[in-house]
Amino acid sequence: MGNMACRIFCKMRKNPGSLPALPSCFSNSPAFITARYAHPSPSGLLSMDRWTGVLKVSLGPNHRGPFFKVAASLLLSHSKALIVPSVNAIFFNGDRVEGTGDPVIERLSDSRNIAELLVSKLGSSANAWVVDASTFNGPFAVYKEFIPSVNSRGEPKRYDPNGFPASSSVVTILSKCVEEVKSLISCSVTKQIPTDVHFPASTSPTRPKTIILGFSKGGTVVNQLVTELAYLNTEPARDLMSSEKPSSRLSQEMQDCLCPVSEGGLLFSISEFHYVDAGLNCAGAYLTDRTAIRKIVEHLLLYDASISFTLHGTPRQWCDRHRPWICKEKDILRRLLEDEARRCEGKLKVTERFYFINSPPNLQMHFEIIETMDIS
């Protein structure tokens, strides 16, 4: 299949030859690495600008580690206020691969490039977030805050919804990123920003949908979030949702329109799950828990919601003779989803997409699927 990349931001950003000098207030910020502004569509909706950069945030207070590296591409108004997106796409990266000398792998290992690709695929009204694990054991990504059962190589022993660790981690990471971006923007402009959040004209404030994507080992985070959604029972769901809009804090209500501020808010906002060439060196790359999938359908019927699962793969993972469990687990999950989809009135959709089908397995295709995948 041909490439589908559309690197629009590199072509359209202001002053493409250089980045602006950073204000002095950035120099001591542990959350800030680099950022730039862009015009994704000079004649499009509100002629919106875009903040694109990479942040480091922690789950703990007072900027105490470990830190997550998060690349973000976010909508801005001309007054440099964050704009409520139509969708938040959250992409979880996998293990590190360095020193290959392959320009395709190097480019698609760059989290900021991935964020820009996601926006090019989803449209200029989307926000994109690319999350790396906070901990690496050599090349191995270890999502221990999301999946407490993982071993030292980041391989999960099980997926347990107790405490909603993945959804609570996502909410905290996005919340801290939003606050950091607001702070960086306010520090970089000379005039006062009129509002923290800009609502597009002729629209009422609505919470954006959430799309979850897990690449390679990042697929384990998808499994954990699916499990947490499955076990978001009625009463706990009410409790989680009730904490979404604290009436005494308007700023938090406004942030809630940018991205979810509670576990329940996040889980209820998810409209799509994407497994992007998921794989592990052990079992657990795909969720094979029939009970969890059945509970997902019960959730959809109870709340009159809908959700889609898309399984994207290449011969690198699905045709690996040394790791046959990857394809077997994928087939089990697809069958479970198809079986349950038959009883939920079109509220559950499942799609399988196989890329580079006629090519021999190689590492480049494993990364190139990020550019090639169809998430429309």
184-198 pLDDT, tens digit each: 888 866 544 444 555
CA dihedral 20, 23, 27, 32 (to 10 degrees): -60
Query: What pLDDT does 38 receive?
Result: 46
Assess whether pLDDT exceeds 90 at residue 236: no
Residue 11: what pLDDT? 29
Q: Are strands 307-313 and 270-276 parallel, antiparallel or unpaired?
A: parallel
Which DSSP category does 101 fall into?
Answer: -
At 22, the pLDDT band (50, 70, 90 cuts) reads very low
Residue 120 confidence (pLDDT): 97
Residue 92, burial from CB neighbour count under 10 angstroms (0-12, 13-18, 19+): buried
- Give the list of residues 6+ apart from residue 261 with CB closer than 8 angstroms, or none: 171, 175, 244, 252, 255
pLDDT in tens, 299-356: 999 999 999 999 999 999 999 999 999 999 999 999 999 999 999 889 999 999 999 9
Residue 291 carries which side chain, given as an amino acid letter?
A: T
Residue carrying the six token digits 């897990």: 214
Structure tokens at 210: 């959430």
| Selection from 280, 367, 373 nearest residue 322 by Cα | 280
Alpha-carbon torsion angle 299, 302, 304, 305, nearest 10: -10
Count Cβ atoms within 10 A of the Cβ of residue 322 and give its class: 0-12 exposed, 13-18 middle, 19 or more buried: exposed
Residue 246 pLDDT exceeds 60: no
Buried b (16+ CB within 10 A) or exposed e, 310-319: bbbbbbbbbb
Closest alpha carbon to 208 in 239, 174, 233 = 174
CA nearest 173: which of 87, 259, 243, 254? 259
Residue 321: other Cβ atoms inside 10 A: 7
- Kindly list the domain boundaries of the chain, sorted by start residue: 8-372
Average pLDDT of every residue of the chain: 83
Strand, helix or coil at 159?
coil
Residue 15 predicted with pLDDT over 80: no
- Tell me the pLDDT band of 80, cut-offs 50, 70 and 90: confident
Q: Which CATH number fits domain 8-372: 3.30.1540, 3.30.1560, 3.40.50, 1.10.540?
A: 3.40.50
pTM score, whole prediction: 0.84
Alpha carbon of 21 to those of 18, 181, 189, 213: distances in Å?
Answer: 9, 17, 12, 33
Q: Percentage of residues in the chain with pLDDT exceeding 70?
A: 76
Which residue matches tokens 């295709």? 365
